[in-house]
Amino acid sequence: MEQSGAEIESRIASRLKDLRTRQELTLDELSRRSGVSRSMISLIERAESSPTANVLDKLSASLGVTLASLFAREERGDAAPLARRADQPEWRDPETGYIRRNLSPPGFPSPIELVEVVLPAGARVAYDSGFREPHVDQQVLVLEGAVEVTVGETHHRLDAGDCLAMQLDRPVSFRNEGRKSSRHLVALTTRRLAPIPSATRRRT
């Protein structure tokens, strides 16, 4: 059974608060990290506000998780490896109307996350966060229509069947300049960056 918008907002609220408290961050500290106001974070955690994709991206980057993880259940060892379409959470961005569906089995431990995105005609979604830890690699496969993707200052036009790989270490935006909605698949993986050796370790 597909989940309602209110259920998705409630899950986002719960996940955000859980991630913040696990990292022992106050509302003020997360606000400073993310650039999102304290009052907005508080409203989101109480499921009293419908945050935009851009706001959620800032919060997820500040908490060291992917945007997709804010819609997912916490990983569990007993989680099922299968996600039926009817059970995949779907969320609509209140600002642009774009729809994202988490395809990966909820709570199943895996370094890979799959997301399906439907971008309305004329819509543009921008993610302004730059450096992330853990490091996030992403690939975008266009399934229907065409999508204009800008990674940093590099522009790409992707038609159906085209696949673009990128690292989420700079701002990224997606635009549909067509007359019909486009649809694309996003695959994400996360990895910790290797620590830089200290000066003492480099000595021989």
- CA–CA separation, 119 and 100 (whole Å): 9
Superfamily in which the 85-191 domain is placed by CATH? Jelly Rolls (2.60.120.10)
Residue 115, token pair as written in the block = 């997301």
Q: Where do the structural domains in the chain lie, given as residue ranges?
A: 5-71, 85-191
Per-residue pLDDT of the chain (204 residues), as tens digits, is 455 668 889 999 999 999 999 999 999 999 999 999 999 999 999 999 999 999 999 999 999 888 888 987 777 778 899 999 998 989 999 999 999 999 999 888 888 999 999 999 999 999 987 666 678 899 999 999 999 999 999 999 999 999 999 998 899 999 999 999 999 999 999 875 444 344 333 333
Domains 5-71 and 85-191 share a fold: no
Q: Which CATH number fits domain 5-71: 1.10.260.40, 3.40.50.720, 3.30.70.260, 3.40.50.20?
A: 1.10.260.40
Contacting residues for 158 by C-beta, under 8 A, at least 6 apart: 140, 142, 146, 147, 148, 149, 164, 184
